[in-house]
Amino acid sequence: MGLIIYLDGKFVDESEAKISIFDHGLLYGDGVFEGLRSYNGKIFKLDEHLIRLYKSAKAISLEIPLKFDEMKNAVIETVRKNNLRDSYIRIVVTRGVGDLGLDPRKCKKPTIFIIASKIQLYPESIYEKGIDIVTVPTRRNLSESLNPSIKSLNYLNNILAKIEANNAGASEGLILNQFGYVSECTGENIFIIKENFLITPPIYAGALEGITRRVVMDIGENIGLKVIEENITRYDIYTCDECFLTGTAAEIVPVVIVDNRIIGDGKPGKLTLKIRKEFHLITEIEGTPVYE
Ligand code: PXG
C-alpha cells in the first residue's frame, strides 16, 4: 500500500491514482495548485491556502467543482487517511480532460487531486549555516502576461530560474522583474533587514503573496521591527544586515551569500533566527486539527 490519494471525490491507492494523457493540466499546464503543511496533526493556514487556490482558479476562469468547505474536508480527510501528523500537502486542480486543442471549453470537468505525504525536511545544516543565492538571467513573467500571483501549473518561469541557479552552483535563484527590481526566489519570498526595518518586495514586483511571508510580516511587527513592502534592488540586498527566504516547505531560511557578496558577518542573522523561533512557536499551536 502506498499513499492514499484523493482523486475526483474518491480515495485511492497511489498505484491507482492516474489521470488521462488528455488532461489539459498535463498538455498545457492549464490548472492551479497549492502546497501546504501540517504540524503535529494540525494543518497550518488551511483557509488562507484555500482562499489563494480559489483566487488562482478564478483568475484563469477555472471553476472548481467543490465548495470551499468540501475542499477543506477533502484536504483534512486526505491527511487523516494517511495517518500523518507532520506532512506536506499538495492540492492540484486542472482544467480536466479535453482534446488536443487548447480550447478549455472542451474540458467538461476539472480534475482534482490531493496528495498528503511525509514532509521532506531540509537538512538542519542549511538553517545553521545559511545558503548562497545568485541572481538568474530569467526575468519574472510580466503581470500582464501570466500574473505571478496565480499559482498555476505553468511554473516554467520558476523552473528556468532554478536551472540557472543550479548551473551556477547556488542553492537558490534570485529573480528580478522587467524593471530590474527584486521579485522573489524560485519558490520562496525574500526579506531583508536593515537597521530596524524588515523589508520585502511588494506583490506588484512579481512576488507570490506567500502565506509564510504574511506570517513573518506579522512576527516582524510583534517583535518591534518596522515592516515595509517596497521595491528593492540587488544593491539593497548586498548592503543589508540580514537576508532570508520564506516558504511553506523551507519555512525561514537564512541567506548568507548573494552573488558572491557576504551578507552581514556571513552567518545567519540574529533577528532572522528570532523570527524563525517565533514562527515555530506559531506552527506548534495554530492550525486546523485533523484528528478531532
Ligand atoms: N513564491 C513562489 C513562486 C512560490 O511558489 C512561495 C513564494 C512561498 O509561498 P508560501 O505560501 O508557501 O509561503 C511559493 C510557494 C518547492 C515549491 O518545491 C515551493 C512552492 C510551491 C511549490 C513547490 O520549492 N512555494
User: What distance in angstroms lies between residue 248's CA and the mean position of ligand 1's atoms?
Assistant: 6
Considering 95, 117, 139, which residue would you say is the last residue of a domain? 117
Tell me: do 81 and 225 sit in the same domain: no
Question: pLDDT tens digits, residue range 196-246?
Answer: 999 999 999 999 999 999 999 999 999 999 999 999 999 999 999 999 999
- Looking up cell 516558504, which residue turns up? 247
Grid coordinates of 49:
491556502
Under the banding of pLDDT at 50, 70 and 90, the label for residue 69 is very high
Count of structural domains within the chain? 2
- Catalytic residues, which ones? 151
- CB-count exposure of residue 30 (10 Å: 0-12, 13-18, 19+): buried
Rounded to two decimals, the pTM is: 0.97
49 CA: nearest ligand 1 atom: 11
Tell me: do 177 and 83 sit in the same domain: no
Host domain of residue 80 = 4-117
Q: What is the pLDDT of residue 1?
A: 79
250 CA: nearest ligand 1 atom: 24
Q: Residue 24 phi/psi, 5° resolution?
A: -70, -15
User: How would you classify the pairing of strands 226-229 and 261-262?
Assistant: unpaired
Residue from 147, 188, 191, 282 whose mutation best tests the ligand 1 pocket (most atoms within 8 A of CB): 188
Q: Long-range contact list for 175-178, CB < 8 A, 24+ apart?
A: 175/136, 175/138, 175/139, 175/140, 175/206, 176/135, 176/139, 176/140, 176/234, 177/139, 177/140, 177/205, 177/206, 178/139, 178/140, 178/142
